[in-house]
A and B are shown apart, each in its own frame.
Chain A
Amino acid sequence: MTVDSTARATTRRSGVKRTTKKTASGTEAAAAASSEERSTGAGAAAKSTRTATGKAPAKKAAKRAPAGTTTAKKTAKKTAKRTPAKKTAPGKTAPGRTAATATGGADRPEMVQLLTPEGYRVEHPDYAIDIGADELRGLYRDMVLTRRFDAEATALQRQGELGLWPSLLGQEAAQIGSGRALRPDDYVFPTYREHGVAWCRGVDPTQLLGMFRGVNNGGWDPNGNNFHLYTIVIGSQALHATGYAMGIAKDGADSAVLAYFGDGATSQGDVAESFTFAAVYNAPVVFFCQNNQWAISEPTERQTRVPLYQRAQGYGFPGVRVDGNDVLAVLAVTRAAVERARTGEGPMLVEAFTYRMGAHTTSDDPTRYRSDDEREAWEAKDPILRLRTYLEREQLVDDAFLASIDEESDTMAKRVRESIRTMPDPPAMSMFDNIYADGHALVDEERAQYAAYAASFADTDEEGR
């Protein structure tokens, strides 16, 4: 306060002595016990400045372009295939069994692998998998359909039907393997790239497109498939997942929560805090980090100086790195992690070592920051190709099956195209909807004002469109 005390009168009408004696309450309140009296007073000088306010501005003549048709459509839901958690003993996943590196994983510490890039089954001492032919074919189908949906969405963005699309290309095994490790009563907190996990949860793929088309900011019912809304602020959802898991523990339920995030998110405070909370409360949450090597243009070594899975050690729970392009290894490791959570052993960090083969989003240009050689090296480890090679060698699939998957892909892609092109814009008035569950006077007032404004245009319909 810039008070010139000499310019002030010597008494205050309040008669209140100006002391700095405090009524300190609470332990943190340091009592400023000065009893210094001031002989200053309020001058009551009328020093206000009158600011003339103008009259109401002229009404804008601009008119919004009319939008499309009404009502959100409902499409048939795909039923999530139930994959019960196996009673396999969790592996010895104590972190630190491989040497820490100072490169954030570029020199590849050991990781769990059950299917080599060449399509050969290998065993791992800690993570076994017992899986039948039907289930293997199911994983293949899931990955192919997910990749096809993703390609279709990228194409729809190029055609102007979507404003943006974050492709999951290359991460199909990480998402399908983890997504299929869950029960319906488990809960998933995704980033904005978990299209494969959404598929496993039974979320209709077309629902994922709404926010990228700009017709909503999420839109689906998270409790419909226990799949929370996509979260764009990096890492925020890790805390929601942890809190949800704390609730599961309070309820005495044996469900588990999967918190998805990427390598870039591990730098966020919210992810660090979620590790702390989950560890302290022993919450049944699995932190599933898809390390796809790139946070837009920044490589993992810009986020960490130790392999990411080793972060868990400092928080007091196990971490493990799994070959994120090996759907069998991801499934086995996630099952084990989820089983730990169910049986009260607390959180676990799974780092799925994978690769974002495409751009960060359709707005990104990876040629500015990474080489073609790198991408080609990862293409050789393609998650779908290696499973197909294995299935064909083991004669678990035939041409008819592969053709039927291709046909199913075509059908789904056609449905996605058609549904996006007919997806209606929301009525403008809907921007006032669902801001509050119990209502809010200001929203009501502004809604009414906007409705009157919109109605002032003769060619506008009742809904302000």
Chain B
Amino acid sequence: MAPGEKLPIAKAINSSLRKALENDPKVLVMGEDVGKLGGVFRVTDGLQKDFGEDRVIDTPLAESGIVGTAIGLALRGYRPVVEIQFDGFVFPAYDQIVTQLAKMHARALGKIKLPVVIRIPYAGGIGAVEHHSESPEALFAHVAGLKIVTPANSSDAYWMLQQAIECDDPVIFFEPKSRYWGKGEEVAQGIPAPLHRARVIREGTDLTIASYGPTVRTALQAADASAEEGRSVEVLDLRSISPIDFDTIQASVERTGRLVVVHEAPVFFGSGAEIAARITERCFYHLEAPVLRVGGFHAPYPPARVEEEYLPGLDRVLDGIDRAMAY
């Protein structure tokens, strides 16, 4: 990565993996098709060529096996960075992640560490067949022992992955696949923000939108559209789902009095529900309106031809803003 070079998210992740492989001989990249092919999204392109089959490992097509062996490698002192090919394919590994990976540090009373990163391309908007567009972050956020982060831009993709790999805890790294090959962005130099810190990416006074991953761009568009209507909307990029930086959300809501949470995942028992509950507790006397959620429905992710109706696009976010402002 040359200084000042503009990279799309996929290439920023590639650069970050490359850096991690260079920095630490214990870092391994493993997953289905991550080697010669460079992954189905080409995120690991060229890594096996440069670091060898022993460190960039094409695995058998078995997700539980990938995560289970990554646990064993971590116990041996390695730092595996696992790729799950698509969000909907993580479930065969769910048992290993929930019953083993998340709990092992506690079961050993802290005497062993599990520095495993699980990269998952997630969310929809790419016109894919079923099981390729899901947003399962809440299913992992419910589990103590896991950390969950999701970058929304190239700079965060690069730095947050570095931080996730350096972290001694298991980290699920959700990558917004619809943004993989978007416009290139410069990766910031200097000291990155803490991994689990939310960021105010646009300031406003009337209402706060909390978003993350693929919905950050939509939230910014909604803020632009609202500005034309004379509404000042603040936008947060949460960046981390477990833990969630409630302090930053609280500070914002105390200024604006209104909060709309936007995510692609179904809102029922989603991260927005948790944010609504906690912000209601923290900001009860500051709230001018109930915390609203805009997101997916309690329905299977729909066929591609109707996914735009399912996804929280600009108009649905603006609708949410209208509803919050109506109080």
Q: Interface residues, chain A, CB within 8 Å of chain B?
A: 1, 3, 12-14, 16, 18, 20, 22-34, 41-48, 50-51, 53, 189, 216-224, 228-229, 231, 233, 236, 238-248, 250-251, 269-270, 273-274, 276-277, 280, 433-438, 440-443
Our pick among B40, B104, B167, B313 for the contact of A26 (Cβ within 8 Å) is B40
Q: How far is the CA of A236 from the CA of B326 in the complex (A)?
A: 52
Please determine whether A14 and B65 come into contact, CB atoms closer than 8 angstroms. Answer: no
How far apart are B60's CB and chain A's nearest CB, in angstroms? 5
Please determine whether B322 and A44 come into contact, CB atoms closer than 8 angstroms. Answer: yes
Please determine whether A41 and B315 come into contact, CB atoms closer than 8 angstroms. Answer: yes
Report if A1-B168 is in contact (Cβ < 8 Å); known contacts: A14-B318, A41-B315, A240-B68: no
Our pick among A26, A42, A442 for the contact of B318 (Cβ within 8 Å) is A42
How far apart are B232's CB and chain A's nearest CB, in angstroms? 17
How far apart are B262's CB and chain A's nearest CB, in angstroms? 14
Please determine whether B72 and A243 come into contact, CB atoms closer than 8 angstroms. Answer: yes
Interface flag for B299 (CB, 8 Å): yes
Please determine whether B41 and A26 come into contact, CB atoms closer than 8 angstroms. Answer: yes
Task: Say which one of B185-193, B200-208, B250-258, B301-309 lies at the interface with A.
Answer: B301-309
Please determine whether A48 and B169 come into contact, CB atoms closer than 8 angstroms. Answer: no
Report if A20-B305 is in contact (Cβ < 8 Å); known contacts: A223-B112, A239-B68, A270-B65: yes
| Pairs across A and B, CB under 8 Å, 20 listed | A13-B225, A14-B314, A23-B181, A25-B41, A25-B180, A26-B40, A26-B177, A42-B318, A51-B290, A217-B107, A229-B108, A243-B70, A243-B71, A273-B62, A274-B68, A276-B60, A277-B60, A277-B65, A437-B168, A441-B244
Report if A221-B111 is in contact (Cβ < 8 Å); known contacts: A26-B180, A277-B60: yes
Please determine whether A1 and B309 come into contact, CB atoms closer than 8 angstroms. Answer: yes
B80-98 vs A, Cβ < 8 Å mask (1 yes, 0 no): 0000011000001001100
Please determine whether B314 and A16 come into contact, CB atoms closer than 8 angstroms. Answer: yes
Task: Say which one of B16-24, B123-131, B150-158 lies at the interface with A.
Answer: B123-131
Please determine whether A276 and B144 come into contact, CB atoms closer than 8 angstroms. Answer: no
Please determine whether B105 and A435 come into contact, CB atoms closer than 8 angstroms. Answer: yes
Not counting A20-B304, A22-B127, A240-B100, a sample of 10 additional A-B residue pairs whose C-beta atoms are within 8 angstroms of each other reads: A14-B315, A16-B313, A30-B129, A42-B316, A219-B109, A236-B100, A242-B72, A277-B60, A435-B145, A437-B105
How far apart are A413's CB and chain B's nearest CB, in angstroms? 26
Please determine whether B72 and A247 come into contact, CB atoms closer than 8 angstroms. Answer: yes
Q: Interface residues, chain B, CB within 8 Å of chain A?
A: 10, 40-42, 54, 59-60, 62, 64-65, 67-78, 85-86, 92, 95-96, 99-100, 103-114, 121, 125-129, 132, 144-145, 147, 167-169, 177-178, 180-182, 196, 221, 225, 229, 242-246, 280, 290, 292, 297, 299, 302, 304-310, 313-316, 318-319, 322-323, 326
Q: How far is the CA of A26 from the CA of B44 in the complex (A)?
A: 12
**Chain B residues with CB under 8 A of A248:** 76
How far apart are B94's CB and chain A's nearest CB, in angstroms? 12
Please determine whether A440 and B126 come into contact, CB atoms closer than 8 angstroms. Answer: no
Report if A25-B126 is in contact (Cβ < 8 Å); known contacts: A42-B318, A437-B113, A437-B168: yes
How far apart are B313's CB and chain A's nearest CB, in angstroms? 8
Residue of B nearest to A44 (CB): B322
Q: How far is the CA of A80 from the CA of B181 in the complex (A)?
A: 56
Q: How far is the CA of A233 from the CA of B319 in the complex (A)?
A: 46
Q: How far is the CA of A346 from the CA of B168 in the complex (A)?
A: 30
State the 8 A-B residue pairs at the shortest beta-carbon distance, nearest first.
A243-B72, A239-B68, A247-B76, A22-B127, A243-B69, A273-B65, A32-B127, A434-B110
**Chain A residues with CB under 8 A of B121:** 26
Report if A3-B126 is in contact (Cβ < 8 Å); known contacts: A14-B225, A242-B72, A243-B69: no
How far apart are B151's CB and chain A's nearest CB, in angstroms? 16
**Chain A residues with CB under 8 A of B104:** 229
Our pick among A239, A433, A442 for the contact of B242 (Cβ within 8 Å) is A442
Please determine whether A434 and B75 come into contact, CB atoms closer than 8 angstroms. Answer: no
**Chain B residues with CB under 8 A of A1:** 297, 299, 302, 306, 309-310
**Chain A residues with CB under 8 A of B290:** 48, 50-51
**Chain A residues with CB under 8 A of B322:** 44, 46
